[in-house]
Amino acid sequence: MAQADKQFRLTGKHVLAIFAAFFGVVFAVNGYMIYLSQKSWTGLVPGNGYEASNRYNREATRARAILRKGWRTKVLVPRDGRIVIRLRDSAGRAVSGLKATALMRRPVGTAGDTTVQFTEDMPGDYVVARPLPPGAWRMDARFTRDGELQWRASAEFVVPEH
């Protein structure tokens, strides 16, 4: 009979203690997460949201005006690594007299990122001054006249081994 008394019996007090311990852990973890979120981000957006939205709207209006021009770009990649951007208007005529610059980035990492200048070789054909090293590239080009953005072009291409 003495052994029967030492046998564990699950009572209501035990269930209540397990239940309280479980939710105590959940509340403690949630409290810690709330503390970390408040410590790492205040919830404030820097600057004036109204001004930021106005700036966005002005930029979107400019972008739509640029796209209405209907210009087209074609990126040519000769074996020598000197990239050529061919810029044509909606009627297929060469667009010339612009200043062209481009940010050239590698698809992975930032080690080879560089900004390059293009010169107009023939009407509407803009050629990079120095050859790019072989490999994959992403290009974001900007065409300006008197400091005002006229056109943007993006492309991904591979420069072959020279």
pLDDT the model gives residue 59: 92
Give the sign of the dihedral formed by CA 75, CA 78, CA 84, CA 88.
negative
- The letter for the amino acid at 113 is D
Helix, strand, coil in percent for the chain, rounding step 5: 35, 35, 35
pLDDT of residue 111 exceeding 90, the answer is no
Mean pLDDT of the chain: 90
pLDDT of residue 51 exceeding 90, the answer is no
Neighbour-count burial for 40-77, b at 16+ CB within 10 Å, e otherwise: eeeeeeeeeeeeeeeeeeeeeeeeeeeeeeebebebeb
Residues present in the chain in total: 162
Summarize pLDDT for 52-97 with one digit per residue, the tens. Answer: 889 999 999 999 999 999 999 999 998 888 899 999 999 999 999 9
Quick check: pTM over 0.85? no
* β-pair partners for 145: 148
Which strand (E) or helix (H) includes residue 67?
Answer: helix 49-68
Residue 106, both tokens: 């590698």
pLDDT the model gives residue 161: 83
